[in-house]
Amino acid sequence: MQDVKNTADLEPYAPMIDPFERVINYLRVSVTDRCDFRCTYCMAEHMTFLPRKDLLSLEELDRLCSTFIAKGVKKLRLTGGEPLMRKNIMHLIRELSRHLASGALEELTLTTNGSQLSRFARELKECGVQRINVSIDTLDHDKFQQITRWGKLEQVLNGINAALEAGLHVKLNTVALKNFNEFEIPSMLQWAHARGMDMTLIETMPLGEIDIDRTDQYLPLSKVRQNLQSEFTLTPLNYRTGGPARYYKIAETGGKLGFITPLTHNFCESCNRVRITCTGTLFMCLGQEDAADLREPLRASESNALLSRTIDEAISRKPKGHDFIIDRRDQRPALPRHMSMTGG
């Protein structure tokens, strides 16, 4: 096996700038498409996952991430599926943490469902991870099992507590779902802020074939915000974490609440992100099908020159924005691939 550190830790390249003059400095990498939950808005209950042989090795993921860091990526988020289900994932995180130590990378973080945090929270902190996002849509045990199909709320709550005890800053990601958790959002917000956790609400995204009609789930966040304003004082903030959320200060709790609105308010004008799947496919936009294969140039040469050129060519095609829509007239998703394939 080639020495990843020698081939990937190169002199910096020119910054990645897309056709709309946006600097690309945020990379999200799905390390696995597998998950131990089957959330109803994300995937079908009986999923067919990729053969393990099709996944990039941990060494290849390291080399790929390191090349992007050399090309100007400052924030790296590991996603899934559930990233902590990837075998030996902490080896990859420990290797990537060298870029935090060198100053080349400003933040290494991940999005998780929390099921494995009791095992890994302390080690994540030791590797330089400072904050994580935990996806959780309800604090009701029965509803949690209903929405995740296979999940146990107690396991996730224990994981969140372990993360907080380890000194990780935790932000909760909650998908707003009509007739499911819309009336629970105020109490979840208060629960999160009382424990020092910020919270972000997300509109359901029309990705992948699932077992139910997404129009029955879709809850516009404009309505949620209006309802919250009858109970709380929301003040817009300039605060940004590098992602698409627009944040508000909640006067009554002292915490922050973010809104991610791919449908009611397109957030693409300031997009600084690209995504890579666990098979090495680069998506320049979550909501478009155009993609670039990075696995072939990654494996074609021990030099990163071809890989870098392939990345540059792909960035030159990054679109202005996505075309998400949820409409009863067309029951098919905007795109056939599941969110777990691209990474949350």
Q: Tens digit of pLDDT for each residue in 81-104?
A: 999 999 999 999 999 999 999 999
Q: Over range 191-200, report the average pLDDT.
A: 98
Query: What domain range is 241 assigned to?
Result: 4-342
Which residue's entry shows tokens 């309802």?
Answer: 227
Distance CA 108, CA 283 (A): 20
Q: Write out the DSSP string of 233-256.
A: -EEE-----SSS-EEEEETTT--E
41 labeled part of a ligand binding site: yes
Asked if residue 135 belongs to a known ligand binding site, the reply is yes
**Which of the pair, 324 or 155, is modelled with greater confidence?**
155
For residue 171, what pLDDT is reported?
A: 97
Is 66 assigned a ligand-binding role in the annotation?
no
More confident residue, 243 or 341: 243
Q: Which amino acid is at 105?
A: L
19: Cβ contacts below 8 Å, ≥ 6 apart:
316, 317, 318
* pLDDT value for 226: 95
What number of CA atoms fall less than 13 Å from residue 203's CA on the CB side? 26
**pLDDT beyond 90 at 224:** yes
Phi then psi for 248, rounded to 5 degrees? -130, 145
Is 278 labelled as part of a ligand binding site?
Answer: no
Tell me: is residue 127 an annotated ligand-binding position. no
Q: Is residue 81 part of an annotated ligand binding site? A: yes
CATH classification of the domain holding 336: 3.20.20.70
Residue 326 in this model has a pLDDT that exceeds 90: no
Q: Is 86 annotated as a binding residue?
A: no
Q: Is 35 annotated as a binding residue?
A: yes
The total domain count for the chain is 1
| pLDDT digits 0-9 by tens, 237-266 | 998 776 788 999 999 999 999 999 865 555
Q: What is the pLDDT of residue 59?
A: 97
Is 247 assigned a ligand-binding role in the annotation? Answer: no
**Which of the two residues, 270 and 85, has the higher pLDDT score?**
85
Residue 275 among known ligand-binding residues: yes
Q: Which residues contact 68 (CB under 8 A, 6 or more apart)?
A: 27, 76, 311
Strands 107-112 and 131-135: parallel
| Residue 98 counted as an annotated binding residue | no
Over range 11-33, report the average pLDDT. 92
Tell me whether residue 39 is annotated as binding. yes
Q: Is 102 annotated as a binding residue?
A: no
Give the chain's mean pLDDT: 88
The strand pair at 26-30 and 75-79 is best described as: parallel
Residue 336 has pLDDT above 60, yes or no: no
For residue range 305-318, list pLDDT tens digits in order: 999 999 999 999 99
* pLDDT computed for residue 269 by the predictor: 75
**Residue bearing tokens 């929270």:** 121
